[in-house]
Structure 1
Amino acid sequence: MNLNYLLYEQNNKIGIVSLNRPEKRNALSRGLLEELAELLTEIGTEKKVNVIIVKGIGKVFSAGHDLKEVYECEPQELLQLFQTCYYTMRVIREMPQPVIAQVHGVATAAGCQLVAACDLAVASEDALFGTPGVKIGLFCSTPAVFLSRNIGRKKAMEMLLTGDFMSARDALLYGLVNKVVASGELEEVTQNMAATIAGYSASAIAVGKRAFYQQINMEDFQALNYASEVITLNSTTKDAREGISAFLKKRQPKWSD
């Protein structure tokens, strides 16, 4: 597909998607979101890679929605913009590959939402996260959804009500990111995390990702019952049989994909 707002490259089994609107601080316009959803859907369907990294070109990860676009939209157009964002976040959730956010600079509003929606996140030590919409009379209601499911109610409300930035260290403490590293190490550490995941069975990862999000809001034993069914079916797959056999014979497994 032709890309106007993104860059895409494949490094072995790792796919790297770069937000490429540095002149707009990688603002998530409707065009960019549509392109991102289409690209991720294609990657998920083709299954040429086992893991995805999403990062930003330029000085920041993403400053959120394009406010000029928001300001100029009629109400129905604005709803379509936010529904496009909804759809893009859903693609990230439902695609079989794990998605890792590689965050530098700032990730604000919908940019922070994108980080929270990804399965994993690695941030540089100088990265900042925020939902500052309250400062301009536009409460960050949509970013609040994934933010509150990452960091907990009280801290999420503090960010949403004050508009203050959260440091990378606090983002690690409260669970918004998985790792915080020196700026010069950000790409290497993210690539290493991706390479580790990419080395496992893609089918097992896909089963695990889907099951994780299915069970997370269930009651404990409802979740355990569901997970028991999933792992039973998983254990019968070619890759699971190969992995167990390799373990018992003390050799490296050879995955089918």
Structure 2
Amino acid sequence: MPQSHDVSSEELDCRIEGGVARLRLNRPAARNALNGALVDELDGRLALLDDDESVGAVVLAGAPPGFSAGSDVKELAGMTVADMARHEARTARVARSIQQLGTPVIAAVEGFALGGGFLLAVSCDLVVTTADARWHLPEVQLGWVPPWGLQALAARCGPVLTKRFSWGETSTTGADLHRLGVVEELAHSGGAESEALTIASRLAALPTAAVGATKHALADAVLAGAEVLDARANRMFAENCRTPEARTSLDRFAPTTAEESR
């Protein structure tokens, strides 16, 4: 395969160079929200990169202005509760799959990582964030439990801090998460992706079989109970979405008649 090439799509930019793949979530107008098309594209691209022997590491970033605002609530608002739960279960499977890959995946967070964006980032093997990046789980404020990813966060900071972050009564910063040991690397503003690419290049230079074996040896420690916890959270999410508080939040994001007719 060529040393450097671009295999981008409308939803996801992918540039492979020097053994490192840089994936950028590419829905800037929607703050890189995780709609169905982007989740499907991310799932397929991660699998292809894991099978690509020329790729030794992956950096997952977001097109400016930030990493990801999480689930596309505008898309969810047009779904039935059952369809919303199925969409979130699909996203959960993609996030869990990162730990099952043989290729290390490093999240590079600039600007913000909100909701599912927060949980997707911490589902990666390593996280680089800028000190001023805004991290927040707003789901409880909207009326529902975070429907997946809680085990990935708990593996990093334990259940008590996970509960505190999940209540989301306030946002936090990359600097705070680094101080608490939730994320591994702190970068200067504008430098998260560059730092993540540097780390990825070092990992890509290591023996790939040994790198992959190390990931697989530790996968259970990170994912222990994650599938069961995600399934439970998904059921609770569906129940929460039928409450008046959640319906009020969803109605705020529902497309207007004018938007539907476009």
TM-score by length of 1: 0.80
Q: CA deviation at 1:144?
A: 2.5
Equivalent residues, number: 218
- In structure 1, distance between residues paired with 2:221 and 2:141: 36
The verdict on how the C-alpha distance between 1:153 and 1:142 changes in structure 2, with shifts beyond 3 A counting, is same
Letter of the 2:207 partner, please give it: S
Equivalent position to 2:205, from 199, 207, 218: 199
User: For 1:213-232, what per-residue CA distance to the aligned partner results, in whole angstroms no more than 9, with x for missing partners?
Assistant: 135688xxxxxxxxxxxxxx
- In structure 1, distance between residues paired with 2:55 and 2:169: 37
Q: CA deviation at 1:2?
A: 6.7
8 Å CA contact 1:129–1:166 kept in 2: the answer is yes
Q: Over aligned residue pairs, what C-alpha RMSD do you find?
A: 1.7
8 Å CA contact 2:8–2:14 kept in 1: the answer is no
Task: Say whether residues 1:112 and 2:112 are aligned partners.
Answer: no
Question: Counterpart of 1:209?
Answer: 215
Matches within 5 A, 1:60-139: 60-139=66-145
State, as a whole percentage, how many aligned pairs show the same letter: 25
Give the secondary structure class of the aligned counterpart of 2:58.
Answer: strand
Question: Counterpart of 1:178?
Answer: 184
8 Å CA contact 1:123–1:168 kept in 2: the answer is yes
8 Å CA contact 1:65–1:111 kept in 2: the answer is yes
Give the secondary structure class of the aligned counterpart of 2:170.
Answer: coil
8 Å CA contact 1:55–1:102 kept in 2: the answer is yes
8 Å CA contact 1:63–1:106 kept in 2: the answer is yes
- In structure 2, distance between residues paired with 1:104 and 1:193: 16
Larger radius of gyration: 1
Equivalent position to 2:63, from 57, 65, 71: 57
Question: Counterpart of 2:165?
Answer: 159
Equivalent position to 1:9, from 11, 15, 35: 15
Structure 2 residue runs of 5 or longer lacking an equivalent are 1-6, 225-262
Letter of the 1:165 partner, please give it: S
8 Å CA contact 1:17–1:55 kept in 2: the answer is yes
Question: Counterpart of 1:20?
Answer: 26
The verdict on how the C-alpha distance between 1:16 and 1:216 changes in structure 2, with shifts beyond 3 A counting, is closer
Structure 1 residue runs of 5 or longer lacking an equivalent are 219-257
Q: Which protein has greater RCO, CA pairs closer than 8 Å, 6+ apart?
A: 2
Q: CA deviation at 1:17?
A: 0.3
User: For 1:41-87, what per-residue CA distance to the aligned partner results, in whole angstroms no more than 9, with x for missing partners?
Assistant: 11111222000000000111100000011111113321220121022
The verdict on how the C-alpha distance between 1:36 and 1:217 changes in structure 2, with shifts beyond 3 A counting, is closer
